């Protein structure tokens, strides 16, 4: 592996940078650092998810893919990645932890959206801004008739409807007791959220 000195000396060239690339310890493919799960090893030797990609120390990376998590566990790749002995890794626990980290990021983003003004909630409000909607998050405990109404607004390309959390959870992100649906009216933010939902689906694959 090149030292950081070598990395600095590397000439800047047009096109996708290879700086910030990391290898998945499951499938070993390389990918941009921020498109991978980052794991760190705590002082007791437990492997934990670095939710914000900021924890100090050596990191190990994995694709957002349940298969890569299991592969890494089968290959006992964690100890090699951290260059120390680590506590045995239960892949099911790690899958649940990664899933929880993704869901926390989605909740955080929806809360940021309310403060920044790019989310809308409440069925009447959503109906009014319907042409601007780029994504609708629907509570899993929405009634059948609400779900049908929301589904009629969406379309798979420009405004997908994604089921996530319950009414209390969606409400909490919007400073309300309950919300049955939250709409995103900013296209770029909708794309970022869709990436998180896709990650969730690749990690938390229904058994
Ligand atoms: Zn992988």
CA distance 155 to 165: 20
Q: Using DSSP, state whether 11 is helix, strand or coil.
A: coil
Domain boundary among 62, 89, 116: 89
Residue 65 Cα to ligand 1 midpoint, Å, equals 7
CA distances for 118 relative to 9, 43, 154, angstroms: 42, 40, 17
Which H/E stretch holds residue 74? helix 66-74
Phi-psi region of 46 (alpha: psi -120 to 50; beta: other; left: phi over 0): beta
Q: What is the CATH number of the domain that holds 164?
A: 3.30.1330.30
Residue 25 Cα to ligand 1 midpoint, Å, equals 7
Residues paired with residue 31 on neighbouring β-strands, in sequence order: 22
Residue 148 Cα to ligand 1 midpoint, Å, equals 37
Residue 118 domain flag: yes
Q: Could you list the residue range(s) of the whole structural domain that residue 58 is in? A: 18-89
Residues 82 and 141 grouped into a single domain: no
**Mean pLDDT, the chain cut into blocks of 10 residues (207 residues total):** 50 61 97 95 94 90 97 94 93 96 96 98 95 96 95 87 97 97 97 96 85
Residues 68 and 125 grouped into a single domain: no
Residue 7 domain flag: no
Residue 43 Cα to ligand 1 midpoint, Å, equals 26
Q: The whole model's pTM is what?
A: 0.86
Residue 98 domain flag: no
Residue 67 Cα to ligand 1 midpoint, Å, equals 8
Q: Which residues contact 157 (CB under 8 A, 6 or more apart)?
A: none
Residue 50 domain flag: yes
**Structural contact between residues 106 and 192, judged by C-beta atoms closer than 8 angstroms:** no
Residues 121 and 37 grouped into a single domain: no
Residue 6 Cα to ligand 1 midpoint, Å, equals 26
CA distance 85 to 106: 33
Query: What is the reported pLDDT for 141?
Result: 97
Residues 109 and 52 grouped into a single domain: no
Residue 41 Cα to ligand 1 midpoint, Å, equals 19
CA atoms within 13 Å, Cβ hemisphere of 127:
6
Tokens of 84: 């120390």
Residue 138 Cα to ligand 1 midpoint, Å, equals 30
Residues 33 and 79 grouped into a single domain: yes
Query: What is the reported pLDDT for 9?
Result: 56
Q: What is the CATH number of the domain that holds 43?
A: 3.30.1230.10
- Angle 14-20-25 from CA coordinates, rounded to 5°: 130
Residue 135 Cα to ligand 1 midpoint, Å, equals 28
Residue 13 Cα to ligand 1 midpoint, Å, equals 27
Residue 13 domain flag: no
Domain boundary among 89, 118, 140: 89
CA distance 144 to 158: 23
Cα 66 to the chain's mean position, in Å? 13
CA distance 3 to 200: 34
């Amino acid at each position: 592996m090149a030292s950081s000195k070598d990395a600095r000396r590397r000439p800047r060239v047009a096109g996708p940078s290879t700086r910030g690339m990391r290898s998945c310890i499951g499938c070993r493919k390389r990918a941009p650092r921020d498109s991978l799960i980052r794991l760190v090893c705590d002082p007791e030797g437990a492997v934990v998810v670095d939710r914000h990609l900021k924890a100090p120390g050596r990191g190990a990376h994995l694709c957002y893919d349940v298969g890569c998590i299991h592969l890494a566990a089968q290959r006992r790749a964690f100890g090699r990645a951290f260059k120390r002995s680590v506590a045995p890794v239960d892949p099911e626990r790690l899958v649940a932890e990664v899933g929880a980290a993704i869901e926390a990021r989605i909740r955080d983003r929806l809360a940021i959206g309310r403060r920044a003004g790019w989310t809308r909630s409440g069925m009447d409000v959503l109906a009014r801004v319907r042409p601007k909607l780029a994504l609708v998050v629907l509570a899993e405990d929405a009634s059948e008739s609400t779900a049908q109404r929301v589904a009629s607004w969406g379309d798979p390309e420009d405004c997908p409807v994604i089921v996530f959390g319950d009414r209390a959870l969606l409400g909490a992100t919007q400073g309300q007791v309950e919300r049955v649906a939250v709409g995103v009216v900013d296209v770029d933010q909708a794309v970022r959220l869709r990436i998180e939902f896709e990650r969730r689906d690749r990690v938390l694959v229904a058994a």
